[in-house]
Structure 1
Amino acid sequence: MFRRRKGQDTPSADEVLEDGLDAELESDETDEADEPAAPVVDRSGGPFDTSEVPDDGLTRLDLGGLRVAGAEGMEIRLEVDEATQNVMAVTIVSGDSAMQLTAFAAPRTEGIWDDVRRDIRNNLAGNGTVDEVDGPLGPELRATLSLQGPDGKQVSQPVRFVGVDGPRWFLRGLFTGRGARDAAAAAPLEAVLRATVVVRGDEAMAPGDALPLNVPTALPDGMSQTGGADAEGDEDDAAPDRRTPLPPPVRGPEITEIR
């Protein structure tokens, strides 16, 4: 399922990290033309650069800077900034787990995940606990945030940050819900992350700048849209006559879903 929302629907943890890619990363911006290539990172199992797309038969949704493979029973949401209508991130929901993907530009000579992990730890200081562990994708951060719930009471929210450095790009995954701690719940989302293709492009970008994403105007074969959703997204998913091609994006509170 693909859903476009007007307004932010990102995990609350991400609001704490608005400054996670700070000015120190921007200071790495140099003339890349004369720099040697970055050390090779083992990404044989993904995620992939656009020059490495495998012949795996997967259907991927083209979102501009990211191409994301859908899976049965999952929902793909685009997080749209209300003020600019720019797509900021993509969130994949699987049951009671979610993973937000954001891709950034990086220097040609080195990755930025080490710096980003440090910045995340600094930003979370005083707002919860955070530990660095070795995960299936390498070093990652697992944090427990202290946040204010809808009723005004403080609640604890587990989150998990994974990162992968690629050629001139960096891909960050933010896991929330049960998948932030439960390996079995996280596995389907990790498979989506590994199957993701990052499209860096050739344009000059400062390290830490988010790669541009867009709402697709057409769907690949194998994906369909369920129209007629109300403000809460409730609808009869079994009705075949309500499945239509994805229309061009429009402004307003409408929600478009694809199952």
Structure 2
Amino acid sequence: MFRRRRRDDEPENVEPTDEEPVADEPAESDEEPAAVPHGGPWDSEAEAVPEMERVDFGAIQVPIGEGIEIQVNVEAVEQDAEGNPVGGRIVAITIVHGESGLQVQPFAAPKKNGIWDEVRKETAEEIKQAEGETQEAEGPFGKELHGMVPVAIPEEMRDQVPAEIAEQGFGWQPVRFIGVDGPRWFLRGVLSGAALEDSEQAAIMEQVFQHIVVVRGDAPMPPRELLELSLPAEAQEAMNAEQSGEGDRPPLNPFERGPEITEVR
């Protein structure tokens, strides 16, 4: 949902789903390692992880259910001779339900210090510098950040918005940032769409976030580095079959029920 500009100066484009800037690891204290609040999101090593059907994306396992679509957000690393993106790495997973979206990213974190407080402040500052607005609020996972961010309007959408917004080339979009510090990891979610105004939609997306399982692994990683995300084996096989021209396999939808896996570049 785009809204009219509230300032005279045109801001720089801000994507609310960008990775957070890397910073030096904060000094460790004598405190105990960060623990996930009871009820999730869950660490893969926890004993009380509730059993349910999830899709395995390597660093995170995402719960699935009726009406849920999962999109794989890919950052292209090269282009072919015609300028089309080729290859790339998965940088986020987006869960879609109706008109609501929840993009999630898992990051490495220090052993004894959470990073959500710092990330939240930095995110607010970045939005402020881009002439956006933010405010902190309490949510089901603790402190969260509500923002109004400027986003560029694609050419193909300009005939769908008011003329004055189309002319300025950008609009104001509300977003909601949620985050949870776990043991050596941090999970960030960005909510958008109907879930920002519809409490029932919000509850559905919050439950999805709550039941995500984070697989940190043992490899040492600098704080804020994105944990490795990968396609499920079934989806990778379906993609390879589609690319090789094997028409008797389903196109990138290897699940008998549940979400459709969509590659977004």
TM > 0.5 between the two?
yes
Q: Does 1:216 align with 2:232?
A: yes
Q: How many residues were matched structurally?
A: 216
2:97 is aligned to: 94
Deviations 1:154-189 (A, max 9, x none): 322110000000000000000011113432211111
Identity of aligned residues (%): 35
2:52 is aligned to: 58
Whole-Å Cα distance in 1 between the matches of residues 201 and 254 of structure 2? 29
Deviations 1:19-69 (A, max 9, x none): 63332xx333x7x8x97642544x221100011164633111111000111
Q: Contact between 2:141 and 2:180, CA under 8 Å: does it hold in 1?
A: yes
Q: Which has the larger radius of gyration?
A: 2
Q: What does residue range 152-231 of structure 1 map to in structure 2 within 5 Å?
A: 152=166, 153=168, 154-218=170-234
Shift in CA distance, 158/242, structure 1 to aligned 2, threshold 3 Å: same
Q: What does residue range 1-259 of structure 1 map to in structure 2 within 5 Å?
A: 15=15, 18=18, 20-23=20-23, 26-28=24-26, 37-41=32-36, 43-52=37-46, 54=48, 56-83=50-77, 85-125=88-128, 126-150=130-154, 151=158, 152=166, 153=168, 154-218=170-234, 246=254
| RMSD (Å), alpha carbons | 3.1
Shift in CA distance, 158/211, structure 1 to aligned 2, threshold 3 Å: same
Whole-Å Cα distance in 2 between the matches of residues 203 and 35 of structure 1? 22
TM-score between both structures, scaled by the size of structure 2: 0.72
Please give the secondary structure, in 2, of the residue aligned with 1:158: strand
Whole-Å Cα distance in 2 between the matches of residues 14 and 52 of structure 1? 36
Deviation at 1:147, TM superposition (A): 2.6
Runs of 4+ in 1 over 6 A off after TM superposition: none
Q: Contact between 2:108 and 2:225, CA under 8 Å: does it hold in 1?
A: yes
Q: Contact between 1:99 and 1:173, CA under 8 Å: does it hold in 2?
A: yes
**Stretches of structure 1 lacking an aligned partner (at least 5 in a row):** 1-12, 229-240, 248-254
